[in-house]
Amino acid sequence: MWTSSQDLGYMSITAHYINVEFNYKKKTISFAEVKYPHTGYVIEEEIVRCLTEWGIRGKLFTLTLDNASIVLMHVRS
């Protein structure tokens, strides 16, 4: 998650996976503006929306995030 020079918040989500031929792949599946305030709940909503849109919500194995305090607080709860 980062903020533009216009004070707009953006979040990118990249999926890493193994295809049926067992080749490692990665794909940016979301690059979205995230509305202020950038709370853990708002970030969670965007992640769930993206995973649902791609039909992979039930296939999530792990999640890697930066160490922003609001994200860490929400993930731990």
Tell how strand 2-3 and strand 24-34 pair up: unpaired
The one-digit pLDDT tens for each residue of the chain (77 residues) are: 788 888 888 999 999 999 999 999 999 999 999 888 877 788 888 889 999 999 999 988 887 777 666 565 655 55
Q: Which domain holds residue 20?
A: 2-76
Number of domains within the chain = 1
Burial (Cβ within 10 Å: 0-12, 13-18, ≥19) of residue 2: exposed
- Report the predicted TM-score, pTM, of the whole model to 2 decimal places: 0.76
